[in-house]
Chains A and B, each alone.
Chain A
Amino acid sequence: MVIYTKEEQRFRGFEEFASLSSSVHRLHPAALLVTIVGFIIAISSYPYTAVSVLIPYCIFPVLLARFARIPLKPLITATVKVMPLIIMIGILQPFTDPVFFKVGSLSFSWGWIIFISLLVKAFLTILANFLLISILGIGGLQKAMKSLGIPPLFYLLFTMVYRYIMLLLEDIYRAMRAYEIRSGGNPKLRLQEWGTVPASILIRTYEQGLRIEQAMKLRGYDPAQPFGQVPRISFKDIAFILICISSFVMFRIFPISVLLGDMFITGFKALHG
């Protein structure tokens, strides 16, 4: 029987998105990585009370996903699912912040603004993160790291960990299911089995690792000569980076949402005398 754990489903989902064909997918992987890191830096550079000025940045993930032909819904769902971690940290703010502001006759802690700012920032940065891996996949990411001069030892290790996770997830799932059945439906390891059960999987894994290592060496594997050709960076890649980064800088300098709001207020006042 084929078993899919939720982690495997996540990996496979991203791999499937990365296998699509689009103009964004054809960009140099390093260009995409640099741009998304630029986006995250731009978001993180805002102070802890920024809220409305962050909204214009929503356009970037939306446009990127649309041009990459990746559906936004699963990415947004995945992003929302990891938000509780941020909520746990942020929810303390309103209760620890002694500074208040007034809306009409009601007083609110500034912590609420900090909390909302944290949520917006977390949402945008996590979504960008998921978009990066959805477009590049593990292969694209490896190429990006290679072209950015990361030592082969690291990105090969990264790729190997990723590939073996798929194998071991299934293995550990089977071992734990066998344990659960034999222990009368208890899925948690009892104290006396803390060592034996994981150690047996670990020893098996270790021996499997040694076998793979020997097989790789026998086939002439040399870590100093990593595989794969990385395409050269082209004009369109540089143009993509420049356009995106300059847009982030523009958004950082000109608060678009406030300017739009001003226009609305002025228009509203003009209409109602």
Chain B
Amino acid sequence: MNGSGRLVGTAVPRREDERLLAGRGRFVADLSAGAHCVVFLRSSQAHALIDDIDVRAAARMPGVLGVFTGADLGLERAAIGTLHDPHPAFVAATDFSMAEQRLPVLPVDRVQYVGQPVVAVVAVDRYAAEDALEAVEVSYTPLVPLVDPVEALRPGAPPIHPHLPDNEAATISIQVGDASVADIAVTVEGTYRIGRHGAVPLEGRGVLARADAQRVSIWTSTQIPHLVRRGICEATGWSTDEVRVVVPDVGGGFGTKANVYAEEIVVAALARITGTDLVWIEDRQEHLVSSAQGRDQTHRTRLSVDADGRILLWEDDFVIDIGAGCLWVAGVVANTGIHLLGPYRIPNARIRGRAAFTNKTIVAQYRGAGRPEACFALERSLDDAARRLGLTPEEIRRRNLLSAPDLPYALPLPYRDGVAISYDGGDYLACLDAVLEMLPRDGLEMLRARHPELVVGHGLGCYIEATGRGPFETARVRLTGSGRFEVASGAASAGQAHETVFAQVAADTLDVGLERILFRAADTDLVEHGVGTFASRSAVLAGSAVRRAAEELCRRGRDRAAKLLGVPECEVELGDGAFAARSGAVGSSVTWGELATACAPGGVQEDYGPLDVTEIYRPRTVTWTMGVHAAVVGVHRRTGAVSVLRYAVAHEGGVEINPQVVEGQIVGGVAQGIGGALLEEFRYTNDGQPLSTTFADYLLPGSCEVPEVLVRHLPVDTPGNPLGVRGAGESGAIAVGAALAGAVDDALGGRAHVTSTPIAPSVLRAALLAARCA
């Protein structure tokens, strides 16, 4: 089958599903046969000095091959540093500051959260290793644990990282317009809190390492293989030639795996020391205390509107609890600050934010990474202002949303990449209209009749999302000896269907059928430089890089075909998967397979070498996605428990490479949003002991909790990249908390205003009772 530019835009079935749905996926644990087992002794203390680590008894246990502290590995001074610095222009414009984080690999002097790895045990299997863990003795001197970020920032609070005395990880300040505003009709103040929850992917983390005389190869469940390689090299002092990072099938990442973890460094180092294949597979209990978490923000807000509900001034002072550290703190803080400006006309804004260290588990850029929190604060404030003015939630949004005449819309502020922000959208109001058409507010009567035990309400949430952040991504397209094409990129798939969508892009560009494309999973041997999959960036960056590389391959192929055909290059056209001379006789053409033969040893173009192109794509700046969520919920009259009855999303995106994959991203995001809004929370005692350590306490949404999600895509091309695509990976998760909270408010007839997530049934029950008494 030959291509004709028609694969992009079609819902080609996901090629990886043939493997994954049949149970033939190969995840890191599936590759580990024959490897010895690594397990980690993790800190039982939230904040303590390590006085002594005695591993002698553990080392003598049956089946134990070795027990290692950070000092034994020579990693006691090694650290993991932050992964992102904003552009100086952004730093200057937002008064941005960031502490120098140096997160320990295996600490020898102090621990900063329960779950932090301290000692590594190598044993013949996990049973023997866990037995040995119980024999390791660590003596601690407890320090005051800090679990409240505001307390942690207070002068005189004990420092969590001794070189950072004020526990301040980052600050930001954004000013738009003027703070002295006339004609204010209503000012609403609020304190909005988004609880700590996280990705909790189906597959936890895991690392397999194998050393040979030259280097260490690791297979790790990550979204960012090249940054993991860099992290390993920085901690160990090895050169990048000494480390190969391969990404097997990955069962979900969502930002939690867009991180460099101590375990990845330690298992690699241990493989070199022991000379044996080693594997560490995170179990669920470890995951719930040691994999990076997310959210955990508190916003103190003030929104002033005029008598018509038009926004005059928006003020927010937010605090982010990043636990013991966050390699992406700049991203989370900047995302929160920038996205607080929303998809609205906001003439004046004063935003201030701080990120604090506490003695909780580390934090990553969990799906949305600041955007859901910003959205919750702004959307809740709008709902509150609407109620005070007697407007509907729909009406106040209608009066403030940016629409076609406003767009593109410039903000007096650079993005993190230093480029002035300009929303490159089409008509945000159209998303509101579309979502209300799918899920109108009237028409709830049938649901009320069907569910007499519930009070029913309708809510809205609008979001904006910067997608496709740089700095760059790499792709490689290579003509194989059999005339097919190997495609690889630096962006690792954690379930985003790269195998399908990048093959669609390559096949269209190369003018061949999908079956001719062999997509290779991320491997630093295939692509020397890469960034990774996160921040709704892979379709935009890796997709564009694949396009560029395939175009370049076509150019070179045409050049070689011209020589074979004996005509000038400008005479040669690619069509039906073959190069033909425009004026040539019928049948005078060169197929990709013939080109492959020509440049193989013994071929007439042997001297030209293989057709193998690696391209880097570097976007000018981000491209913006916007959308509106609508939800209908029922609040149980007795328990106060919230059920999501109906859900719809209308979003303005770019070209859809594969509409089904985009829809899947939106629906999956909504499911995770429902979890965070209603069920999921990493809770801690005042001493910093984690309480959500099993799935009996950390409740995930299941098929019964997530209704069918209606999705409508409103396409608006963007000239920002060669494919015209916009990112969609996080969109589904961003506005769920806001929409559900609005629907709960509505269900309770305005007698309650939800200010925090997860939404507490006990609070709603109390509000329902009060309403009944009133």
A binds B: no
